[in-house]
Amino acid sequence: MRLRNRASSVRGSVFSLGLFLLMALEPAPAQPNTSGAELMKRSSLIFIGTVSRMEAVSFSGVRASKNTAVVNVDRIIEKPKAVSLVEGKQITVELKDPSLFHEGTRATFYAEGWVLGEGVAVKETGHELIAATAAPQPQGAEEKRVQTARQNKMDAEVRSRIANADMVAVGRVTSVRPLALAAPGRKSITEHDPDWQEATIKVDSGLKGIRSGKEVVVRFPASEDVAHYSAPKFTVNQEGVFFLKKDKVTGRPKALLGGAQVDAYVVQEQKDLLPKEEAARVRALMKRR
């Protein structure tokens, strides 16, 4: 098997063509998946398929070109929840290098979305050819490999979130109150008003930027508006792992805590809060950084 990715150059294509010719003559040896995690970052659909027709499309809502192919979906490894794709159906794939494929070519396809209509059309982000004579893999081996890579990807996202946070803490919400936004800056009346709230969090375990036992003021948008609904909504006694950034969005960077002016923090994204059960994993990832 050979892994293709976006970084392929013309030289790589020529090399790939040569490799393809070699593969046509004899079974290809397996090659290490050196950039699987990177590939998966850009791939929301992973499936094993067999090319049915080259330069063709599987439904009328997408245009055929030299790079498009109709592929039979043999096995779905991962797919977005909303996309209606089942094994045995056909899908349109825009190939990065169609010279590597022909009718009957079987491969694991890594892809990102393109067009969703009567059928599904995707753009290849990479692939691994499966030689016709290759020994069948044990049941679940492909899924396990993908799961591992997917876990690696999720870990990388958490590490990135740790790196970008000013403070990371395991703690519990002890109070929630509306944020009184007075001057400076007159409040605009809009349906997208975040409806900022202030929560006080008692830190059980400080992982970054704060010590255990301290308290911190965290602001979050309580609004259910489309612009804010996915942000965490804190309630008293809620526990979790909090990824906090200093407040640069409300116009009031300081907050009152125990009568003293302290830095205020904000959360705006769903992933800024993880369940408390994830604390051990976050600690482990911090040690490995």
Q: What are the DSSP calls for 18-53, one per residue?
A: HHHHHHHHSPPPP---TTHHHHHHT-SEEEEEEEEE
Residues 50-79 that bind other proteins (CB under 8 A): 61-62
Residues 188-247 that bind other proteins (CB under 8 A): 188-193, 195, 223-227, 229-230
- CA distance linking residue 243 with residue 274, whole number of Å: 8
Indicate the SS3 state at residue 191: coil
- Does position 85 interact with other proteins (CB under 8 A)? The reply is yes
Residue from 7, 10, 86, 182 that binds other proteins (CB under 8 A)? 86
Residues 132-191 that bind other proteins (CB under 8 A): 186, 188-191
Q: In the numeric block, which tokens belong to residue 10?
A: 């013309």
Residue from 3, 156, 249, 262 that binds other proteins (CB under 8 A)? 249
- Does position 114 interact with other proteins (CB under 8 A)? The reply is yes
Residue by residue, what is the 3-state secondary structure of 106-168? EEEEEEEEEEECCCEEEEEEEEEEECCCCCCCCCCHHHHHHHHHHHHHHHHHHHHHHHHCCEE
Residue from 1, 3, 64, 83 that binds other proteins (CB under 8 A)? 83
Indicate the SS3 state at residue 91: strand
Closest distance between other proteins and the C-beta of residue 115, in Å? 5
Q: Cβ closer to other proteins: 68 or 105?
A: 68
- Does position 116 interact with other proteins (CB under 8 A)? The reply is yes
- CA distance linking residue 188 with residue 208, whole number of Å: 34
Taking phi over 0 as left and psi of -120 to 50 as alpha, with beta for the rest, 148 belongs to alpha
Closest distance between other proteins and the C-beta of residue 249, in Å? 7
Closest distance between other proteins and the C-beta of residue 231, in Å? 10
Residue from 117, 160, 271, 277 that binds other proteins (CB under 8 A)? 117
Of residues 76, 87, 13, 69, the one with CA closest to residue 47 = 76
Q: Which residues bind other proteins (CB under 8 A)?
A: 41-42, 44-45, 61-62, 80-86, 89, 112-120, 186, 188-193, 195, 223-227, 229-230, 249, 270
